[in-house]
Structure 1
């Protein structure tokens, strides 16, 4: 059913073609570049020689490899005309499966499947598919359910989850760097909440160890990217329209096209935050809101929503100062933080399932 729902998202492709979103050229040209270099024996490319009319750029040093490796692999297997469509289908299906694994901790299979489908085809994912073509960010959507799953196993089942969490964090760095920053902050929030609630310093140590392990596993990408920054002016990548101040909900700028897109995504964010409110209301009526898990989910969603509001601008400045290689993509962090927030899908007598919530536009 998850695969069928992901396929249903792409039915319009048969009539209108693959959507040409904001970042589609960047990603597809990257796939072609990598595929061409593979054919010349270069397994892990660094330089994108075809960029900028043949002048080139060190794209593959700074841009995380997971999406362009997967895209290039698919381009070598399936016809080029459907490579992007196959990529989208695979990623949406994988996101749904990761949510299914998480939801099965509490729900019967049918209800867990409903939650998985809801997460896979949630409105913000549709915005990515049809308007943004942010393929790396879409791939990162597979990781948030796994992050919460492994933390819950560490807390509720008292299992040592340092290695699984480290793998998730490493995968985040290798998939989408703004999402990785958001995932690390989210993990810190979750770990801190449970450590205080359980009075367990062990959780803090396990979380710190997972962060270190994740950085080590992704070091083949992180170290060159950090070291090579001195040869690039990363700040030049943050132009008007790309700053956090230009991407809050219903913000007005001097760019009419940007404002039109922002309004659309803002309404998507409002819709999904409304789902959070409805889910919280149902949980309160059913007297579930007093459980620690419900309090955590509501708090997590509230924090994500807060970072979509202008009042959070001062915090964006603080977060960016420690973002390292993320300075040039901080606008994407706003989108990812919202996209992977916690919402709820209601079924039957108010069973609540997690889904995404957010806004943004960067790769």
Structure 2
């Protein structure tokens, strides 16, 4: 399919400027195609910001970067009513905030207080902003990539579990390997010589390609057996005692219905990106960690024992029979 080829070409172009983070690039494109939002967690300098900037550079889309700080106000994100005066007459007009773009980088979302986080999350969920009793729709092509720094937690406002549920995927970014680190140095040297930051002249991908690809993804077939497998994975998080006594000690609250919907969407997107018109259990297993990771609430016993959400998900995948 032409749309798939265009998306793979986009992925390749982004990969030329983001070295050693192929998984993050794949998840970023999956979020865009699945019409969902991403929470990306990783240490500083791991190309989180660079990834979405590279996507915007190669896609016909407007990018807004919002640096979250403790003194940020909700109106700094959504916009506000501003009084304009001309010819002796005055009126209030809505001045759009940075949220009215196609791609939103919400940098260090956990550094802003709850009211600001809620303003962003409401816009993500409702796909509109309401100010002064009037609703203003957001663009059809709309993706929020929020970042979190796992260190320097002093002065931060962690997102509550109920708000984390609004994100389609929680992506963890790790250090690149030694070979990639060497390639990164070479890339930066090359960019410095070529007036770094300038476009390479390649044609940007039209936003219509993404919207058309979404329609193709909605037509991807999911068999009854795979549907049952997805549901079984979700139910295992809610009633872990039925499949494993150890797992029951780790999980306090299981995955919400948004997790079912999200895993279905992301599995279909993964299948489409890999050239198939049907979902396999492998598509589910390849994406389940990103969809469940932020939706599981672990028990005190799990935290005390150093058990992570990923380890709990590994146990679930091991114990639940495939389709």
TM-score, normalised to structure 2, is 0.32
Which structure has more relative contact order (CA 8 Å, sep 6+)? It is 2
Which is helix-richer, 1 or 2? Answer: 1
Query: Greater share of strand residues, 1 or 2?
Result: 2
Higher-Rg structure is: 2
